[in-house]
Chains A and B, each alone.
Chain A
Amino acid sequence: MANPITQRLSNRAVAMHMSVTAAACIVSPGRLVVAFVLAAEEVILSTLCALFISLLDTLEVKQIKESCICLFVVMFVILYKEILSAWMPAVALQLSFVLFLPAISTFSTAFLIDDKSDNLLTRLSAVIPAHLVFAFYIIIFCAIRDIIGFGTITLPKMGGVMEIVLCKNAPGSFLATIPGALMLSALILASFLVIEHWYFSVKGR
């Protein structure tokens, strides 16, 4: 059975979303606290964006739909950054421009999704699982970097970051760096392709 998400999103949208989400993981510091912030942004923004598109469809706004979506995404990220500023000021200062990267991917999927005969529920059922997968990927990716690269687990707390030190000398501090993140990203992709190849070869027998 074909995946409903990939049926509904063009290959270009999926590739763009993947690359922007991966870019957000790579340029951001490899801390679990950062992953929670980005993953929450990804899921909340995509859900609200789907609701907003349905509102525009109800209002029969067609000519300026893309402009309105773009505006909504940018305004939401500013709002999200302000809420983060009040909750964790140092993390808000640290992330800054990184918060706009998931917004680009959300805009690309919202803009490129095939929505000619959609109602709200079908739109949400297509958008939310895809973004939950990416959110999960961000958390796993940053958790690996945090634990192996920094030797810590970082969690959000009111006013700052709670840091649990697992070991004083991190076993793979290279993974804490951006070149290390690129290498980890390539390894995850290669592993995924190997598993996919193995799965289809077993299924084909």
Chain B
Amino acid sequence: MALKIDAAESGRILTVMTLIIASFFLLDLLFIYLTRARYNNGLADSIEEVLNSTIKSENEKYFVGDRVQLRSMLDTSCALYKVQSAVDKDDLFVVVARIATYAGPFPAVFLYNSDSGARFVSFMNISNSNKDMLNRLSQSQLHYWKARVEKMLGGATWQTQ
């Protein structure tokens, strides 16, 4: 069925639609721009907290550095950062990936270096008392993501933000 509208009405509709799209688009872009640095830094702090909760002494402390942008669609569900550690002098990276577990989506932290590959560290946003339960329930997903992280970083191209 064809819509019967005159030229003035179609012009008005086009103007309203353009204004709505443009204003929403600009507002979203503005917020993305304003919050990006805060998101990257906040996530880095949370990752650092998770990594340092696994160490035995202060000398082993990890320092999460700049975010590295993955040139892949995975960048929407993962975040990759450079990491420095007093113990591990090699090029270290940390990946936090949103994993679909039996308890819903949870961010999982993996450490990666080119020699030893990827190693699962821990889940984020969950207390120590529940980590074991979530680890037991998510073994197959963790194996899958470990292999995926190794594949992703093994031949990936990235750029530091």
Q: Which residues of A contact B (CB under 8 A)?
A: 27-31, 59, 61, 63-64, 67-68, 71-72, 75, 78-79, 82-83, 85-86, 88-96, 98, 149-152, 154, 159-161, 163, 165, 167-170, 173, 176-179
Q: List chain A residues, Cβ under 8 A from B96.
A: 93
List 13 other contacts, CB 8 Å, given A63-B3, A71-B21, A82-B28: A28-B104, A68-B17, A79-B27, A82-B31, A86-B34, A90-B42, A94-B106, A152-B127, A152-B129, A160-B45, A167-B129, A177-B103, A178-B104
Q: Is B105 positioned at the interface, with any CB of A under 8 Å from its CB? A: yes
Q: Is the CB of A160 within 8 A of B46?
A: yes
Main secondary structure of the interface of B (DSSP, over half): helix
Q: What are 13 pairs between A and B in contact, CB < 8 Å? A: A28-B105, A63-B3, A82-B35, A83-B35, A85-B35, A86-B34, A89-B43, A91-B125, A150-B126, A152-B130, A159-B42, A160-B42, A160-B46
Q: Is the CB of B35 within 8 A of A75?
A: no
Interface size on B, residues (CB 8 A): 42
Q: Is the CB of A165 within 8 A of B125?
A: no
Cα distance, A165 to B131, chains bound together (Å): 13
Instruction: Look across to chain B and name the residue whose beta carbon is closest to the beta carbon of A34.
Output: B104
Q: Tell me which of A72, A92, A163 contacts B20 (CB under 8 A).
A: A72
